[in-house]
Amino acid sequence: MNAHHLRIEGRVQGVGYRAWMVREARRLGLSGWVRNCLDGSVEAVIAGPEPAVQALLTACRRGPIAARVDRIVEDFAELPESEGFHQR
């Protein structure tokens, strides 16, 4: 399993981005979490098999229909302590 830390910037708060990401991550069988940040970005840790992680990363660049993703800053992360994907 691989884990990635993401900081998603753009119009990503108030448009259902977190709920959308939870649905997509669960559909792909990933673990981790997603939350809003005070600066208006969304932060997430995603973990799982690399093909599923890459599929979610690709989807995150588009996001839900009302979102506008300007940039994703990606780094490696520690594996989440719990299984499943949830919103913080």
Half-sphere exposure of 72 (CA within 13 A, CB side): 18
The single residue of 18, 26, 27, 62 carrying the catalytic annotation is: 18
β-partners of residue 18 are none
Is the separation of the CB atoms in 33 and 44 below 8 Å? yes
Is 7 considered catalytic here?
A: no
Q: Give me the catalytic one of 36, 62, 68, 71.
A: 36
Q: Answer yes or no: 18 catalytic.
A: yes
CA distance 48 to 54: 10
Which residues are the active-site residues? 18, 36
